[in-house]
Amino acid sequence: MPDKSGSGIFYGWIIVGAASTVVALQWGCNQTYGIFLTELCEDLGWSKTVVSGAYSMGFILGTILGVMAGRLNDRYGPRLMFMISIVSVSSGLALMSTMNSTWQLYLFYGFIVNVGLAFAWVPAVSTVSRWFIRKRGMALGITQGGIGVVIMFMMPFAQFLIISFGWRSSYVILAGILLVLCLPVSRLMSLNPSDKGLYADGVPVTAESEENDSLKSNTMDFTFKQAVKTKQFWMLFMVCAIFTLSIGTSIHLKAYVIGFGISEMTAATIMGLRSGASAVGTIIISKLSDRIGRKIPIAISFLVMALMMLWLMKARQPWEFYLFSVISGFAGGSYALFPAIVADWFGTKFHGSIYGMVGVGEGIGGAISPLFAGYICDTTGSYELAIIIGAAAFFIGMALSLIVKAPRTSKLTW
C-alpha cells in the first residue's frame, strides 16, 4: 500500500486539516455566544440565567447526542456526519436572527445549533484518532488547536459585526460563512486509512516496528459495554466533567470584564486571546504528551487553571485580564488529550461511541457552569462565588487526574 496522498503528503494530515477547519469554524461561531449574551440581555430584556440556560441545555444535549454521533460515525463515516452538522448549525444560527421569545432561543440555539455541533466534534476526533498512532496526540492537538485560532479572531470579528450591523444581521452573516466554507471541505473526510489504501501514520506495521515502537498502541479494542464497565472509564468521565467547568468562564468573561468599565471590544479581544493561547497550548501539550504521557500535563493544567481563577477574582485592569487569558487559555489546551486517552486505553475500533459517552461527562460540566455562573450573578450581583467554586473544583480535578490509572488490559500509561 502507498503511504502518501497524490500530493506526496500523508492523507492523515489532510484529514486533520479538514476536520480542524470544519470544527474550528463551527465552534468559532458557537463560542461567540458569550459576545452575544450581553446584547440579548440588553435588547430583549432577558436575565443572564435565562440566556445562559439555552447554552447549558444545548451543551448537555449536544454531548448526549455525541454518543449517537460517535456510533453513527463508526458505521457511516464522517462525511455524512459533517453534512448533517453543517446544515443544522448554519440553519440554527440564521434562525437566531428572527427570535423575539425565549422559547425560540432554546429551540434555535439550544436545540438546532447544538444538534449540529454534536455531529461534528466526536466524529472529527474519532476519525483523526484512527489515522494516527505514534503521532496521535499531536494530530489531535492540531485538530483542536484550530478551534482556538479561529475563536481568537472570531470574538472581535463578531463584536465588530454587532457594532456595524446589529446582532440579528450578524447571526445571518456567521451562518453564511459557515455554510459556504465548511460544506466543500467536509468532502475530504474519510473514516479509515484502509479506505484510501493507506496505513495509520503512513507506515506499514511490521514485526520489527512493533518490537521497537514503544509508542504504538497495543491496547485491546474494548467494546462500548466493556469500556463502561471499568472504573477507569467513570474516573475519566469525572475528570472530563470537571475540566469543562471552564466553559462557564468563556461564556461570562465578556460580561464580567465590562463590569469593571472595560470596553466591549477590549473584552472581546481578551476572550479571543484566551482561545488563541489555548490553540498554542493544545499543540505544545499534545505533542509533549506523546513523549511523557497524558497524566502530568492534565494535572498541571488543572493546577494552573485553579490558580488563575483566583487571579481572575482580583483582576481589575485590562493587562490583568490579558494575563489571565494567556495563562489559563494555554493550560486549557490539555482538553485535546481526552480523545487521545480514550484511544490509548480502549482502542480505536469503537472509539466514536466510547469517546461519545465520555463526552457526556464533558457535557455535564459544560452545561452546569454557564447556568450556575449566570444564576449566581443574577442573585448576588457578582460572579465572585462562582469563581471561588470553580477554583476549588479544579483543585479536585488535579487530585483525581493523579489518582486515575489506565485499565490493566492496556499496556500504555497516560
Of 366, 339, 296, 308, give the one whose Cα is nearest residue 60.
366
Which pLDDT score, from 0 to 100, does residue 6 have? 53
Residue 326 maps to a domain: yes
Domain at 172, CATH number: 1.20.1250.20
pLDDT for residue 219 is more than 70: no
Give the N- to C-terminal CA distance of the chain in Å, as an integer: 31
Categorize the per-residue pLDDT at 205 as very low, low, confident or very high, splitting at 50, 70 and 90. Answer: low
pLDDT for residue 185 is more than 90: yes
The residue ranges of DSSP E strands in 109-244, in sequence order, are none
Which pLDDT score, from 0 to 100, does residue 211 have? 39
Instruction: Annotate 358-399 with DSSP letters as a single string.
Output: HHHHHHHHHHHHHHHHHHHHHHHS-SHHHHHHHHHHHHHHHH
Which pLDDT score, from 0 to 100, does residue 413 have? 45
Angle between helices 247-258 and 295-314 (to 10 degrees): 20
Residue 209 maps to a domain: no
pLDDT tens-digit series, residues 8-66: 788 999 999 999 999 999 989 988 998 999 999 999 999 999 999 999 899 888 888 88
Residue 229 maps to a domain: yes
φ/ψ (deg, to 5) at 367 = -85, -40
pLDDT for residue 202 is more than 80: no
Residue 414 maps to a domain: no
Do residues 126 and 355 lie in contact, with contact meaning Cβ atoms separated by under 8 Å?
yes
Domain count of the fold of the chain: 1
Q: Cell numbers for 84, please give them.
A: 448533517
Q: How far is CA 117 from its chain centroid?
A: 10
The more confidently predicted of residues 211 and 32 is 32
Which pLDDT score, from 0 to 100, does residue 410 have? 46
Which pLDDT score, from 0 to 100, does residue 206 have? 43
Q: How long a stretch of residues is the chain?
A: 414
Which pLDDT score, from 0 to 100, does residue 217 have? 41
Do residues 67 and 352 lie in contact, with contact meaning Cβ atoms separated by under 8 Å?
no
pLDDT for residue 268 is more than 60: yes
Residue 409 maps to a domain: no
Do residues 86 and 182 lie in contact, with contact meaning Cβ atoms separated by under 8 Å?
yes
**Region 67-73 average pLDDT:** 86
* Domain with 382 in it: 11-193+220-403
Which pLDDT score, from 0 to 100, does residue 7 have? 54
**Region 382-410 average pLDDT:** 87
pLDDT tens-digit series, residues 309-338: 999 999 999 999 999 999 999 998 888 788
Residue 214 maps to a domain: no
Residue 160 maps to a domain: yes
Residue 406 and residue 47: Cα distance in Å, rounded? 44
Q: CA dihedral in degrees (101, 105, 107, 112; nearest 10)?
A: 150
Categorize the per-residue pLDDT at 95 as very low, low, confident or very high, splitting at 50, 70 and 90. Answer: very high
Which pLDDT score, from 0 to 100, does residue 411 have? 45
Q: Cell numbers for 126, please give them.
A: 474519532
Mean pLDDT of the chain: 86
Residue 363 and residue 107: Cα distance in Å, rounded? 18
Residue 210 maps to a domain: no
b/e per residue, 213-239, with b = 16+ CB within 10 A? beebbebeebebebbbebebbeebbbb
pLDDT tens-digit series, residues 149-173: 888 899 899 999 999 999 999 999 9
- Comparing 241-250, 265-274, 401-410, which segment has the lowest mean pLDDT? 401-410
Instruction: For the chain, give the percent of residues with pLDDT over 70.
Output: 93
Q: 146-150, 159-163, 344-348 — which one is most confidently predicted on average?
A: 159-163
